[in-house]
């Protein structure tokens, strides 16, 4: 398990992990991902997997939340070459490439917009306390803009 791109795993980190097996049970990968992240967040001790695999100490299946399926991507299946061989035709491959290009363009635009909105929210007014007694704090950047605007007027 490692942060994608060799990063340290900050708030918006993306992690890659590779699982090689001959078969999987229903939701097994989602359960494995959830447990790995629980250990990484220190919600579970580092030896939790060893505990779960010890049937004397853990005789029943542990109840745990499974990870969302949304970010989990099946990248490859290494079927025996004599059993299955999938080779997309050129038109199919071109269509798949066009669909992926459109998806990437859309996601890049959405990520840029979300980043802009996040930055704008960080520099806006923040209210603290109940509405009737709210105290308004203006960020340093907003104060500078207000002073500049007052000076220009």
Give residue-wise pLDDT tens across range 23-50.
Answer: 777 788 888 889 988 998 899 999 999 9
Which run of H or E residues covers position 32?
helix 28-40
Measured in degrees and rounded to the nearest 5, phi and psi for residue 11 equal -60, -40
Element (H, E) at 121: helix 90-122
For residues 60-71, give the mean pLDDT.
82
* Structure confidence at residue 139 (pLDDT): 52
Does position 131 have pLDDT exceeding 70, yes or no?
Answer: no
The pTM (predicted TM-score) of the whole model is 0.53
Taking all residues of the chain, what is their mean pLDDT, rounded to a whole number?
A: 78
Share of the chain above pLDDT 90, in %: 21
pLDDT of residue 9: 58
């Amino acid at each position: 398990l490692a942060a994608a791109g060799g990063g340290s795993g900050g708030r918006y980190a993306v992690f890659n992990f590779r699982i090689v097996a001959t078969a999987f049970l229903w939701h097994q990968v989602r359960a494995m991902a959830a447990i790995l992240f629980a250990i990484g967040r220190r919600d579970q001790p580092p030896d939790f997997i060893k505990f779960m695999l010890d049937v004397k100490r853990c005789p029943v299946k542990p109840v745990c939340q499974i990870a969302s399926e949304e970010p989990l991507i099946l990248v490859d299946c290494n079927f025996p070459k004599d059993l299955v061989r999938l080779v997309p035709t050129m038109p199919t491959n071109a269509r798949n490439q066009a669909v992926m290009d459109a998806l990437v363009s859309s996601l890049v635009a959405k990520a840029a917009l979300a980043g802009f909105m996040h930055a704008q929210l960080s520099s806006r007014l923040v209210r603290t306390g109940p509405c009737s007694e709210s105290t308004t704090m203006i960020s340093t950047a907003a104060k500078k803009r207000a002073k500049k605007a007052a000076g220009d007027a």
